[in-house]
């Protein structure tokens, strides 16, 4: 062979290898040690993230993508962790696949942990980090950092001994974070990480969130305006300004001052909540079990008040004192008139304001201030507008029973929302007391009762006699009834995409795969091949390669390896949108043996199987590590989802494919590989 031909052949081989090698490293890690004092240091782990990729924070909620997991080795007697591991700025975004907020890093991630040296001879600290980074595909990565600790001077020995004594008396406590769901019931190893810190958002996401808070608060203010505590005050207050003012301009000016005073009162309330609890304190409380339980009780209390069980009233002495100040006149008098409105209308506005403050504060930052601005603006606008155009007062509907109807309607909504907070607590504790079917049954009962109320079949204590229902009330009743009927199939496993952020997820259910036809197969679960189970859409799958291979040989079918993850978003999208197609399900059920290997399975391997990978140098300690190594060494890639069709000798039939929601293309890939197997 001529030299030129040899070079061309070599170039072709290199090109082929490059085309097949798909090991991607979207995060480039580095580490350093910062000295704080002779015995205290800060361990810094910094990762630069490629464009469009996201690394998920250690505080990402359970049920979502995999959070960062940190482990500091050989602490006993050598060093103590000081405080929590802190993170650089994160972003927050709702994931409609998992039904939780993702907390993630873009561009850059920095983790810092302070340590106190207890052993003067300590020369290094080893830290391990497991993380997930995703774009259209996901990669589960791990890094091992060795931090060189400067030699401790002999003069600091006494300080170290003191630190040892302190650490013995007050050991540093760490929390545990749940790892990927365990579908086998085997024990799962917790990872030592601290409790969640405040989460910040990128400006664009934060702006979008604040705008949504503002508009929701504005609509809530409008709803409060239509309650019997506020609506009748509009013509009374406007008439007072127009009659008491010497000129029309003065009346308009006083009404505007009155409206601005209302806004100031509520904005100051929002500012106080932010100042007292901190810009992000309630954000972390929003996922706290006890806080969710307390807020559930408060919302039920508010709902009972709206439904007519009792009135929530501030002390009469407050209103009397404010009324006396309002008589002073001038700007101060107008300000106290606005304060009197806030106090007198509290029985109607209090529950709405309380709910708004919690929801707004859960987003952190200035959310409570923005929320109160939107609410008070809706409340104040009518007083200003009707003062400018008093002739409009004649167009206002007369006060009557419809105002109480609005209040009762809000009471039903408060009651339904309360169970969302109870569900949050149940999910965190994994008590399975309020599973999906129970939650939906409660909502069906609440909204069904609301529909009956709107149709006049149920009356509340403060309702006026109802001889007929208006067209508007009828239309609203039909809308609520339609929503109630829409939820009923959810009891049998329907996804209910319109409200998927409210009920518990499908997996948190008495019947995770629905009731009816799909469960007929599960009656024959004892007839499954050894090591097999029902996977997505009841497709029979194996989660162990050797067992799946043995079964494939016994039935002489090709193998489809599905490299997946419990926390892989696009894996779920492929299963929900592609595998659910009847053509694809037919193939996966009948023409191949499916083996799903979870690369984020955190169950530990038996000690005899744990080792250091010769190919990657990584510690192979978990089942997920085992399948990751298998994927890297055999297919030279580290991304999920990854689908491979092989023969019974493990040879690839027609290449690999990854995330691609094109059903026809996926079907063609499957049929091509199966045809090659049969040749």
Query: Among 182, 368, 174, which Cα is nearest to 286's?
Result: 368
On the CB side of 212, CA atoms within 13 Å amount to: 9
Cα separation of 229 and 462, whole Å? 13
Q: What is the pLDDT of residue 17?
A: 40
Helix (H, G, I), strand (E, B) or coil at 562: strand
Q: Regarding beta strands 611-612 and 642-646, do their DSSP bridges make them parallel or antiparallel, or are they unpaired?
A: unpaired
Residue 399's pLDDT band (cuts 50, 70, 90):
low
Does residue 567 have a pLDDT over 60? yes
- Which residue carries 């904005």 as its tokens? 267
Q: What is the pLDDT of residue 201?
A: 40
Does residue 314 have a pLDDT over 70? no
Q: What is the pLDDT of residue 364?
A: 54
Phi, psi of 383 (to 5 degrees): -65, -40
Does residue 166 have a pLDDT over 80? no
DSSP 679: -
Query: Among 552, 577, 592, 571, which Cα is nearest to 665's?
Result: 577
| 175-179, 310-314, 319-323 — most confident range | 310-314
Q: For CA atoms 429, 430, 432, 437, give the dihedral sign.
A: positive
- Which residue carries 């993508």 as its tokens? 65
pLDDT mean over 108-129: 90
Residue 435 CB coordination number (10 Å)? 20
Q: Would you say 644 and 22 are in contact if contact means Cβ atoms under 8 Å apart?
A: no
- The CA-based angle 434-435-436, given to 5 degrees, is 125
Tokens of 606: 């038996």
pLDDT mean over 30-53: 91
Specify the higher pLDDT residue, 19 or 93.
93
* 351-393 pLDDT tens trace: 777 777 766 655 556 777 888 888 889 888 888 887 777 777 6
Question: What is the pTM (predicted TM-score) of this model?
Answer: 0.48
* 627-669 pLDDT tens trace: 988 988 888 888 888 999 999 999 999 988 888 889 999 999 9
DSSP 227: S
Q: What is the pLDDT of residue 487?
A: 94
| Alpha-carbon dihedral 418, 100, 93, 352, rounded to 10 degrees | 0
Q: What is the pLDDT of residue 283?
A: 43
pLDDT mean over 552-567: 91
Q: What is the pLDDT of residue 12?
A: 44
Q: What is the pLDDT of residue 455?
A: 94
Least confident of 102-106, 183-187, 277-281, 549-553: 183-187
Tokens of 174: 């760490």
Domain 27-148 class, CATH top level? mainly beta
Query: Among 496, 518, 405, which Cα is nearest to 443's?
Result: 496
Specify the higher pLDDT residue, 465 or 154.
465
Q: Would you say 447 and 478 are in contact if contact means Cβ atoms under 8 Å apart?
A: no
CATH 3.30.499.10 fits 532-678, yes or no: no
Does residue 566 have a pLDDT over 60? yes
Q: Would you say 596 and 565 are in contact if contact means Cβ atoms under 8 Å apart?
A: no
Q: What is the pLDDT of residue 246?
A: 66
Q: Where are the beta strands (DSSP E) in 108-212?
A: 108-117, 124-134, 138-148, 175-177, 191-193
Query: Among 135, 126, 121, which Cα is nearest to 24's?
Result: 135
Helix (H, G, I), strand (E, B) or coil at 374: helix
Measure Cα distances from 210 to 335, 373, 546, 564 in Å: 28, 11, 52, 36
Cα separation of 296 and 47, whole Å? 40
Cα separation of 642 and 632, whole Å? 11
Give me the residue spans of the domains in the chain.
Answer: 27-148, 209-396, 400-515, 532-678
pLDDT mean over 541-564: 94
Write down the mean pLDDT value for the chain: 78
Residue 664 CB coordination number (10 Å)? 9
| 2-16, 32-46, 198-212, 612-626 — most confident range | 32-46
Q: Would you say 360 and 213 are in contact if contact means Cβ atoms under 8 Å apart?
A: yes
Q: What is the pLDDT of residue 541?
A: 93
What percent of the chain has pLDDT above 70? 74
Residue 169's pLDDT band (cuts 50, 70, 90):
very low
Query: Among 265, 228, 266, 259, which Cα is nearest to 381's?
Result: 259
Q: What is the pLDDT of residue 639?
A: 83
Q: What is the pLDDT of residue 18?
A: 40
Q: Regarding beta strands 69-72 and 54-56, do their DSSP bridges make them parallel or antiparallel, or are they unpaired?
A: unpaired
């Amino acid at each position: 062979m001529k030299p030129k031909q040899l070079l061309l052949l070599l170039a072709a081989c290199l090109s082929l290898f490059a085309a097949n090698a798909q090991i991607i490293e979207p995060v480039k890690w580095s580490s350093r040690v910062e000295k704080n004092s002779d015995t205290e240091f800060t361990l810094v782990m910094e990762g630069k993230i490629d464009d469009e990729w996201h690394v998920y924070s250690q505080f990402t909620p359970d049920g979502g993508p995999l959070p960062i997991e940190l482990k500091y080795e050989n602490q006993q007697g050598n060093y103590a962790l000081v405080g929590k591991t802190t993170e650089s700025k994160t972003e927050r975004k709702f994931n409609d696949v998992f039904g939780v907020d993702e907390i993630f890093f873009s561009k850059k991630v920095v983790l810092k942990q302070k340590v106190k040296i207890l052993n003067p001879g300590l020369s290094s600290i080893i830290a391990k980090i497991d993380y997930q980074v995703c774009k259209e595909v996901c990669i589960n990565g791990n890094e091992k950092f060795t931090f060189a600790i400067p030699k401790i001077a002999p003069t600091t020995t006494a300080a170290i001994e003191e630190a040892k004594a302190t650490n013995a008396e007050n050991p540093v406590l760490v929390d545990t974070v749940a790892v990927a769901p365990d579908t086998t019931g085997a024990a799962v190893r917790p990872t030592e990480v601290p409790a969640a810190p405040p989460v910040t958002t990128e400006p664009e996401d934060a702006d979008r969130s604040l705008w949504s808070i503002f508009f929701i608060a504005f609509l809530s203010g409008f709803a409060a305006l239509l309650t019997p505590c506020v609506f009748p005050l509009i013509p009374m207050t406007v008439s007072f300004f127009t009659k008491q003012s010497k000129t029309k301009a003065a009346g308009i000016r006083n009404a505007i001052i009155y409206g601005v005073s209302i806004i100031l009162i509520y904005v100051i309330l929002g500012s106080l909540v932010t100042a007292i609890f901190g810009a992000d304190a309630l954000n972390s409380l929003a996922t706290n079990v006890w806080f969710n339980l307390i807020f559930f009780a408060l919302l039920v209390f508010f709902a009972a008040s709206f439904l007519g069980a009792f009135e929530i009233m501030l002390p009469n002495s407050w209103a009397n004192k404010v009324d006396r100040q309002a008589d002073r006149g001038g700007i101060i008098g107008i300000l106290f008139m606005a304060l009197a409105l806030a106090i007198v209308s509290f029985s109607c506005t209090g529950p709405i304001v309380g709910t708004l403050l919690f929801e707004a504060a859960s987003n952190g930052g200035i959310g409570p201030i923005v929320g109160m601005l939107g609410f008070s603006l809706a409340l104040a606008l009518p007083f200003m507008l009707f003062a400018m155009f008093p002739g409009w007062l004649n167009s206002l509907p007369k006060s009557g029973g419809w105002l109480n109807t609005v209040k009762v309607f809000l009471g039903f909504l408060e009651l339904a929302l309360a169970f969302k907070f109870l569900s949050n607590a149940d999910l965190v504790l994994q008590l399975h007391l309020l599973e999906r079917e129970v939650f939906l049954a409660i909502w069906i009962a609440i909204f069904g009762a609301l529909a009956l109320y709107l149709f006049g079949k149920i009356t509340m204590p403060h309702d006026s006699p109802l001889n007929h229902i208006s067209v508007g009330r009828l239309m609203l009743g039909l809308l609520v009834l339609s929503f109630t009927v829409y939820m009923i199939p959810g009891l049998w496993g329907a996804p209910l995409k319109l409200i998927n952020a409210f009920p518990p997820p499908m997996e948190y259910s008495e019947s995770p795969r629905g009731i009816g036809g799909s469960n007929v197969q599960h009656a024959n679960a004892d007839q499954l091949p050894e090591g097999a189970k029902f996977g997505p859409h009841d497709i029979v799958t194996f989660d162990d390669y050797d067992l799946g291979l043995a079964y494939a040989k016994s039935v002489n079918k090709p193998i489809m390896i599905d490299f997946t993850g419990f926390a892989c978003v696009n894996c779920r999208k492929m299963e929900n949108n592609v595998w659910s197609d009847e053509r694809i399900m037919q193939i996966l059920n009948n023409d191949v043996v499916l083996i799903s290997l979870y690369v984020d399975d955190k169950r530990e391997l038996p000690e005899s199987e744990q080792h250091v990978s010769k190919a990657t140098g990584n510690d192979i300690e978990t089942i997920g590590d085992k399948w990751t190594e298998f994927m890297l060494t055999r297919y030279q890639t580290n991304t999920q989802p990854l689908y491979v069709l092989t023969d019974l000798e493990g040879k690839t039939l027609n290449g690999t494919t990854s995330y691609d929601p094109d059903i026809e293309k996926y079907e063609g890939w499957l049929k091509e590989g199966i045809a090659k197997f049969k040749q």
